[in-house]
Structure 1
Amino acid sequence: MAHANPELIQALRRTAQKLSSGNPYQWGHMGSCNCGNLAQELTQLSKAQIHEFAMQGRGDWREQVEEFCPTSGLPMDLLIADMLNHGLTTSDLQNLERLSDKKVLARIPLERRDKMRHNYRDDVMLYLNEWADQLEEELLPNIKLDLSFMNEEKVETKLVAI
């Protein structure tokens, strides 16, 4: 499961928002599918660049992730490595492409979950938002705030007219 961090959580939310606002979505296009849209957000590459990188390899995202080699130097492997550096795992990418992570799906009401399709924009947006919520819930208990400054005596200042 992904390493919960604010940057990844925001990227998931921005990806869902952009899809909601009409960002290109085409499940069969490596640069504008589920993973392709998140890759655009994390790497700042265009859908065309991502698709071009993917076409140098074989298969869809699931297959390319299975064949991922961090030392190959292939553009798609470099792109996947960049996404992993943002806290994702290879399993996360495979699950995103098929909307299949059981923990994320368990958060979605059964009647909605049973009707989800991995290649339907609205279902992808729902999945991304639920995943972001899940990661945020994992992250929040680990955040410690130093509020000791609130216990210090208030320093009173006076303005003196000269």
Structure 2
Amino acid sequence: MSQSDIFSTLIHHHDIQRKLCQDFQHAITQQDRPKAESAFIPLKNELEAHAAAEERHLYVPVMAFDDGLELSRHAIAEHHEMDEMMAVLSDRRTGDERFFKTAQELIDETLHHLKEEENEFFKEARELLDKPTQERLGKLYQAEHQAFEDKHGE
């Protein structure tokens, strides 16, 4: 991906997450647990890489501003909720009924989070962060996301 600001970079990764959610949705709609588990793995890897890099290279810088504190706290809380759902889905002891219910909840929460970020958080964060900072954070995000993918064999 070419160098771009943090928001363009994040939106690119949001689009990847939407596609992975679609794939996961298709598998859970069929109630095919092995297929759903296979579709979950790339989504989980992407969400984990994205959350770690996004929290460090967008939420923390935005939290430096009084107007950004509540925004970032809310977004981090949603990441935590998704982490808890992914833990349930990763636990091989989770029964089918709970697995499929949690899978749908993860998809719904992910799509809600992406929409809320793009329509609210990003608009406010753009006002707080100057252009050079947005460019620098985009590069840092991309480097950390790539390092996570490299480490986890993507």
The TM-score range, normalised by the shorter chain, is 0.3 to 0.5
Q: Give TM-score scaled by structure 1 length.
A: 0.35
Rg (Cα) greater in structure: 1
Q: Give TM-score scaled by structure 2 length.
A: 0.36
Larger relative contact order, structure 1 or 2 (CA cutoff 8 Å, min sep 6): 2
Higher helix share: 2
